[in-house]
């Protein structure tokens, strides 16, 4: 045979890393941290092996542990001591995320991202102010415009507490504009927004809802989270958020939506983030525990796929475990 083109020439050990097209490093990753105002000790999350809720008093220590691996950024989720219909603990000065952020900011050099949503703070588990008859009428859920002010208040309170980047996840129309206006008016023009621009109503969120105690008490979130069947709509959502002032555009979930990650990468100059969600994490762990997969190798390959698809930043529960390998 007279083959002039032999791709295998570039697959030997010496040259392979030189021609590798996709790189992944700890600084690409954001590690989620669950801070729980209802506990005085760390509580393992059964459906997410290796993850735990930490009390406010240990939040800085937990983040320092993550920083020691080379991962520089964390995203904070809070479990409040009490909940109510308006999610008031989300924007309270002494809320769980606000208290944790002050401690972490004072004791570490971590870059702090604050998730801004109300589902973890409302007694009904939805992401905003609900319609009066929402419990009995399945066509009703969250009042969009009334929710915007609460999201802006939450963002400002987090910025005041030391959060470096705001990440709104409620899929409320106009949320980026409302938050940008609120931050700017409060003197936080420098605080960027990483919007969950394309957040789908997904079956992959189950373990997170246990971890953050954020499952809806009735109904579901299909009226404000995106239909998993829709691809073009993600571009519309992302375009609106970009026009409203989003600095980073996120796709959630990640692995089942690689086409959407790739679409946003082609269409926008903004940094693209992908959230490697709890269900994706849990199912890899479950397969590894049964001896069907190698945990670290599959986790690494999964995150590399997200980078290859176009993600610049990855929110992942694998961050801490993979940092040494990277």
Catalytic residue list contains 252: yes
C-alpha 300/C-alpha 29 separation (Å) is: 12
Q: Say if residues 39 and 58 touch (Cβ distance below 8 Å).
A: no
CA distances from 19 to 7, 12, 13, 171 (A): 11, 11, 11, 40
Catalytic residue, chosen from 83, 135, 199, 307, is: 199
Reported as half-sphere exposure (CB side, CA atoms, 13 A), residue 117 has a value of 29
In sequence order, the β-bridge partners of residue 198 are 251
Give ∠ CA 104-113-124 in degrees, rounded to 5. Answer: 100
Catalytic residue list contains 135: no
Give the pairing of strands 52-55 and 43-44: antiparallel
CA-CA-CA-CA torsion sign (92, 125, 202, 77): positive
Q: What is the DSSP string of 51-93?
A: -EEEEGGGHHHHHHHHHHTT--EEEEEEE-S--BTT-GGGS-T
CA distances from 306 to 50, 66, 93 (A): 22, 21, 36
Which residue numbers are catalytic? 199, 252
């Amino acid at each position: 045979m007279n083959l002039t083109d032999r791709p295998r020439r570039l697959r030997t050990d010496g040259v392979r890393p030189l021609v590798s097209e996709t790189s992944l490093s700890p600084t690409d990753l954001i590690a989620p941290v669950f801070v729980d105002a209802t506990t005085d000790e760390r509580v393992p999350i059964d459906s997410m092996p290796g993850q735990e809720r930490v009390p406010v008093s240990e939040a800085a220590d937990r983040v320092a542990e993550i920083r020691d691996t080379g991962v520089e950024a964390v995203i904070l989720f809070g479990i409040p001591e009490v909940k109510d219909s308006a999610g008031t603990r989300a924007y309270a000065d002494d809320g769980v995320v606000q208290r944790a952020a002050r401690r972490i900011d004072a004791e570490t050099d971590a870059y702090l991202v604050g998730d801004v949503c109300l589902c973890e703070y409302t007694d009904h588990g939805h992401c905003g102010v609900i319609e009066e008859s929402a419990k009995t009428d399945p066509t009703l859920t969250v009042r969009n415009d009334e929710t915007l002010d609460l999201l802006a208040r939450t963002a400002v309170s987090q910025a005041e507490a030391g959060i470096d980047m705001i990440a709104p996840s409620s899929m409320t129309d106009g949320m980026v504009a409302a938050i940008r206006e609120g931050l700017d008016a409060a003197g936080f023009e420098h605080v960027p927004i990483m919007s969950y621009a394309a957040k789908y109503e997904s079956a992959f969120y189950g373990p997170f809802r246990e971890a953050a105690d954020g499952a809806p008490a009735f109904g579901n979130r299909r009226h404000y989270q995106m239909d998993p069947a829709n691809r073009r709509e993600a571009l519309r959502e992302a375009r609106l958020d970009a026009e409203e002032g989003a600095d980073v555009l996120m796709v959630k979930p990640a692995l089942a939506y690689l086409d959407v990650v790739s679409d946003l990468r082609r269409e926008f100059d903004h940094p693209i983030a992908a959230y490697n969600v709890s269900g994706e994490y849990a199912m890899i762990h479950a397969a590894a525990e049964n001896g069907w997969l190698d945990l670290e190798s599959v986790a690494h390959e999964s995150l590399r796929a997200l980078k290859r698809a176009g993600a610049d930043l990855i929110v992942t529960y694998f961050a801490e475990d993979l940092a040494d390998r990277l």
